[in-house]
Amino acid sequence: MRSLLIAALLSATTAALGAAQDFNWHGRIAQGKRLEVKGVNGDVRAVLSSGAEAVVNAAKHSRRSDPDDVEIKVVESDEGITICAVYPTPPRARRENSCEPGDRWHSSTEDNDVVVDFEVQVPAGVVFNGQTVNGEMSAEGLKADVKASTVNGSVRVTTTGLAEASTVNGSVYVEMGRADWSDELEFTTVNGKITLIMPDKLDTEVRASTVNGEIESDYPLMISGKFGPRRVRGTIGAGGRTLNLSTVNGEIRLRKAT
């Protein structure tokens, strides 16, 4: 009986260490400003908020490491709000893990196995930047520009605004409601297919390439230079702005919205 009680206590302690640890943040962000959510291990999933406030919830869980060691930090800047999962800085790391707006963010996990899953609600008109490393990245039904990335996982974006998306091991699926970007848009993966759905009226210079796959376009293309089934350089409409689509192992599909 005593051994059964000890086993039950040990099991309860282990479950407590690995249980979800909730983080909740909500607040108003001005239209045109940015909400950034940055994770390392775990999914980031964003949907349209039903109200004027942005909402970010996170759940932490693990098998070995202590979830309390991973902080969820909130940083306010002129650009908007940045929320990051900040892991303990490894002893041999050259840089301290931090939470910073834009591309300056850095976080190394080493052997820490804590997973942080983010659930995000983005108000209409608020730009969303979401990124993780090991996990799925999705931003669906949004009403502003989106930038989404992961390394090991798929990316899925649907928005009435502009979008960019990238991964390494996974597919990229994007539906964009606008096509009036000013300079360049890029959609990339290495092991996965790319599906890009855009408005019927499109003016762009297309650069599309794959190694093991095919390229298809619903838009008529005026080809420039050499081309083949796996590499295309051409003009859609009046051209001008640049659209880059690149994978190694996968097909590329450029579709018109229906």
Distance between CA atoms of residues 11 and 9, nearest Å: 5
Divide the 258 residues of the chain into consecutive groups of 10 and give the mean pLDDT of each group.
39 43 90 97 97 96 91 96 93 84 80 94 98 97 98 98 98 97 95 97 94 93 73 90 96 94
H helices present in the chain, as ranges: 2-18
- CA atoms 27, 51, 139, 158: torsion sign: negative
Give CA–CA dist 60/89, Å, rounded: 18
Per-residue pLDDT at 170: 98
94 CA to centre of own chain: 26
Q: What is the 3-state secondary structure (H, E, C) of the chain?
A: CHHHHHHHHHHHHHHHHHCCEEEEEEEECCCCCEEEEECCECCEEEEECCCCEEEEEEEEECCCCCHHHCEEEEEEECCEEEEEEECCCCCCCCCCCCCCCHHHCCCCCCCCCCEEEEEEEECCCCEEEEECCECCEEEEEECCCEEEECCECCEEEEECCCEEEECCECCEEEEECCCCCCCEEEEECCECCEEEEECCCCCEEEEEECCECCEEECCCCEECCCCECCEEEEEECCCCCEEEEECCECCEEEEECC
| pLDDT of amino acid 229 | 67
Q: Would the CA dihedral through 166, 172, 177, 180 be positive or negative?
A: positive
